[in-house]
Amino acid sequence: MATPTITAFDWVPDFAKGQVRDFRVRWALEEVGQPYEVRYLSQGEQKGPEHRARQPFGQVPTYEEDRLTLFESGAIVHHIASQWPGLFPDDAAGRALAIEWMFAALNTVEPPIGELAYVDIFEADKPWSKPRRPAVEERIASRLKDVAKRLGDQQWFNGDFSAGDLMMIAVLRIIETDPLLTAHPNLVAYVKRGTDRPAFRRAIDAQMAGFTGSPPPGFAEWEAKLKAGAGAN
């Protein structure tokens, strides 16, 4: 089997460093001990026809292995967990439970957390942004309460660390220092267990080392506009 190749950005704003979703793929590959290569894209290059042939929405990451090309971090992590031992239990029921938590992370927990990025960053200059935050916080708080209750005092969701835990921790660490998460000590401890894993550290170090590019034209003006709008709100 050929060494997999993933795509990643060579530059992102500071708030996105460590969070771009190629990190999730890197972490999965590190957990299973699979070397990989990275094709770096400058900002804007992801919207070009060459990359859209790999990823129709012009996003990262993508994953290429022999004749197989995948997009969507969840699908890629599922493929990695299916290809190499380490992220799925050996039994069918255990695999199903791990997949269940992958879907829960991506479909139930991440969407309201993702809304915070629009409230606090991407639409911070809009008059409707700040008034939206209480409702967004309420939705996140409800999801986190349910996740914390189900986790209880377990180390991981179903026995050993799995792809389900990897995806859930990748989502929860988006708000790692937010009071919404720190209100749940068991979730804070859960995230720390995940981020203390050697594979996590290797993955995060690799992503950070790849940010060697430059911001696109107009970024400074865009950033200043958002900061001014956030201050006005």
For residue 156, give the CATH number of its domain. 1.20.1050.10
For residues 193 and 205, membership in a common domain is answered with: no
pLDDT per residue, tens digit, the chain (233 aa), is: 789 999 999 999 988 999 999 999 999 999 999 999 999 999 999 999 999 999 999 999 999 999 999 999 999 999 999 999 999 999 999 999 999 999 999 999 999 999 998 888 888 778 888 888 899 999 999 999 999 999 999 999 999 999 999 999 999 999 999 999 999 999 999 999 999 999 999 999 999 999 999 988 888 876 776 666 555 55
6 in helix, strand or coil? strand
For residues 123 and 186, membership in a common domain is answered with: yes
Query: CA–CA separation, 118 vs 74, rounded Å?
Result: 22
For residues 59 and 101, membership in a common domain is answered with: no
Q: For residue 233, is it within any domain?
A: no
For residues 155 and 208, membership in a common domain is answered with: no
For residues 193 and 207, membership in a common domain is answered with: no
For residues 188 and 204, membership in a common domain is answered with: no
- Shortest CA distance to 120 belongs to which of 145, 105, 108, 137? 137
For residues 70 and 124, membership in a common domain is answered with: no
Here the contacts of 71-76 (C-beta below 8 Å, separation 24 or greater) are: 73/21, 73/22, 73/24, 73/25, 74/102, 74/103, 74/106, 74/167, 76/6, 76/24, 76/25, 76/28
Domain that holds residue 205: 5-86+200-213
For residues 53 and 10, membership in a common domain is answered with: yes
Q: For residue 232, is it within any domain?
A: no
pLDDT of residue 2: 85
CATH of the domain at 72: 3.40.30.10
pLDDT of residue 166: 98
What is the count of structural domains for the chain?
2
Q: For residue 229, is it within any domain?
A: no
Q: For residue 157, is it within any domain?
A: yes
For residues 119 and 49, membership in a common domain is answered with: no
8 in helix, strand or coil? strand
Q: Which amino acid type is present at position 190?
A: Y
